[in-house]
Homo-oligomer: A and B are copies of this chain.
Amino acid sequence: MCEQRQPMSIENVQISDDFWQQRREVIREKTIEYQYQQLQESGTLENFRRASAGEEGGHNGMWFQDSDAYKWIEAASYVLANHQDPELDRRVDTVIDLIATAQRTDGYLNTYFALEEPEKRWTNLNMLHELYCAGHLIEAAVAHYRATDKETLLDVATDFADHIDRTFGDEVDGVPGHQEIELALMELADVTDEAHYRDLAKYFVDLRGHDDRLAWEFKHLEQIAGYDPDDNEGGIAGQAAGVFLEDGAYDGSYAQAHAPLREQATVEGHSVRAMYYFAGATDIAAETGDDALLQHLDLLWRNMTEKRMYVTGGIGSQHVGERFTTDYDLPNDTAYAETCAAIGSIFWNQRLFEETGAAKYADLIERQLYNAVLVGVSLDGTEFFYDNVLASDGEHDREGWFECACCPPNIARLLASLERYLYAVDDDGLYVNQYVTGTARPTLDGTTVTLTQTADFPWEGTVEIDVEAPEPTEFAVRLRVPEWSSGVSVSVNGDPIAVDTDEGYVTIKRIWDEDRITADFEMDVQVLEAHPNVEADIGHVALQRGPLVYCLEGVDNDIPLYQYAIDPETEFEATYHEDLLDGVVTLDGTATVPSKDDWDGELYRSAEETDETTARVTAVPYYAWNNRGPNPMRVWIREA
């Protein structure tokens, strides 16, 4: 059984949205180019060249460096799907050729192993990421095939997938330390219509937590690839931050291998791994009609969103192990909230939505997209946050690239495929999940209709959708009612529609011809508090307007940020500034601040003497911080 709802293909959606278009142009015009240079400068492409030439040694970068090339191809393919760019097309073909020639005759493909330890394939599933790279190869191949109809990379991917299929469950029994191949194989099955790829994905999802292969590797370091007895830092094993428990025992939870999935009641371990895992598992639940598994995944989703997620949608609160920790443990200044984890969560939530039609998953996609993901890249598209703190004393700063460069290409491939997250179709009609200006041409009840959406998100909550059907056609249009909206009004051709937001959607089922839907989602400033068990946020509030979480940045505010206190009743003024931060709405209001006049050199005094005054405070969207140099920032502001 396939998902109930299908996303639209990139080609059938055109985005012309002021907010997103600007960012996507940066991706197309700068980031893709910049990343290609990085592939060259980091030696990533050189690795493929050497492997093609049968050389030995000298592998550049991380063991999973190949995946950078695959993610670049994937992002470039999404760009090619909607844009004529012969030069990029040729460049992609060249890289694919290089990859294809590096593939071994048996289908195996990994430059680290080809160059460094050819005899040790599949011996270090924990950390050497052959299956992870294979997954990204497959995702790239699927995207490239869909965008260009070329099968060049798809052939490489299927050859490697077939090799894996022959190997695993037979020569080798085990699961990858870093999930990714599961969801990729499900996509490969979709485009090739080869069911055995789904079986292989299911094998990897089902075996995890049931076998002790990963634990075994940690007890037999000398038998695994990458082991270096002279490396005081612990070599491959030592680099696996968070893999060990304090007593030195293997910590399966790092890779969600501490228990079978259906016995895991909380989201644990490395957050990117977790998201990719759950995304693949959701695909399998959908494919097999396994409602129990789906419900279990929703239980994990609730643990994440109700106890282990930053207000930005960021996940994974601890640097060591890049991982989830415990319920309500959400420190702000040391938040990890890796950009890739939020991206992984969007992959997972899109699948949960496709299977269930529940608006809450699309709500979370919106929150993570506008906050946890977007903050990961500078406005000019060339600098990136790997980890995303929610409070900084001014040291935190984006960087051009990372030794472990997973995030920048991940952002690129997500934003370049934004079209996939806006709409979905099912037998009954169309879902409008994200409000982004542009057109879509879904086929509904056999008729291809044109929707022209005009929105000014995230700044204004008004949306117009013009529906044009070539002939009168009956279908439902479902408009997501954003979780943050305090009031909704919808009309069709000026006639108000009764709104029942219980389901998270306003559903308009009628015979459509040439009609205009107008929706207004009230976009008030919300002053939020966190659950009192979140120690880091207690006594503090955060500002949100529409889908955007706000922050105070030092550059906009005169006194130290920790000294501002905000009364939840404060009226904030929302003002659009065209010239600020590529155009943002700021929130301006009055805060309580301590008076420092009469301290007379005292450091401590009776609290009854407290003397306060007021000061103006300006908040900017969280995603836009650190675009005017490193400076102090905080999302959570003291509550007055």
Contacts and interface: CB of A to CB of B under 8 A. Distances in A.
Interface in A516-536: 526-535
Nearest to A541: B607
Interface stretch (A132-140, A193-201, A459-467, A557-565): A557-565
A539 interface: yes
A302 interface: yes
Contacts of A563: 532-533, 538
A601 B302 contact: yes
Given A603-B531, A605-B529, A606-B568, A594 B306 contact: no
Nearest to A327: B603
Interface string A270-302: 000000000000000000000000000000001
A578 interface: no
B602 A306 contact: yes
Contact of A596 (B532, B605, B638): B532
A588 interface: no
Contacts of A307: 603
B539 A596 contact: no
A205 interface: no
Contact of A542 (B531, B565, B596, B604): B604
Nearest to A610: B529
A599 interface: yes
A188 interface: no
Nearest to A594: B532
Interface residues of A, number: 42
Interface string A582-609: 0000000000011010010111111111
Contact of A533 (B565, B596, B606): B596
A305 interface: yes
A252 B389 CA distance: 34
Contacts of A610: 529, 568
B542 A562 contact: no
Contacts of A565: 539
A639 interface: yes
A52 B526 CA distance: 76
Nearest to A559: B532
A495 interface: no
Given A563-B532, A569-B608, A638 B538 contact: yes
B568 A529 contact: no
A560 B535 contact: yes
Contacts of A189: none
Nearest to A609: B529
Contacts of A562: 535, 538
A318 B609 CA distance: 30
Interface in A595-634: 596, 599, 601-610
Say what secondary structure dominates the interface of chain A. mixed
Contacts of A305: 603
A311 interface: yes
Contacts of A603: 305-307, 309, 311, 530-531, 534
A569 to B, nearest CB: 7
Contacts of A568: 606-608, 610
Given A529-B606, A568-B610, A606-B526, A601 B535 contact: no
Contacts of A531: 596, 599, 602-604
Nearest to A568: B607
Contacts of A560: 533, 535
Given A532-B596, A538-B563, A527 B608 contact: yes
Nearest to A638: B539
Nearest to A599: B531
A408 B606 CA distance: 34
Contact of A527 (B538, B606, B639): B606
A306 B527 contact: no
A391 to B, nearest CB: 11
Most chain B beta-carbon neighbours within 10 Å: one of A306, A530, A599, A607:
A607
A607 B538 contact: no
Contacts of A539: 539, 565, 638
Contact of A604 (B311, B533, B601, B606): B311
A431 to B, nearest CB: 25
16 contacts: A306-B602, A307-B603, A527-B606, A527-B607, A528-B604, A529-B605, A529-B609, A531-B602, A531-B603, A532-B563, A533-B596, A534-B603, A535-B560, A538-B563, A568-B606, A568-B607
Given A531-B603, A533-B596, A541-B607, 5 more contacts: A527-B608, A528-B606, A529-B610, A530-B604, A569-B608
The 5 closest A-B pairs by CB, nearest first: A532-B594, A568-B607, A529-B607, A527-B607, A535-B562
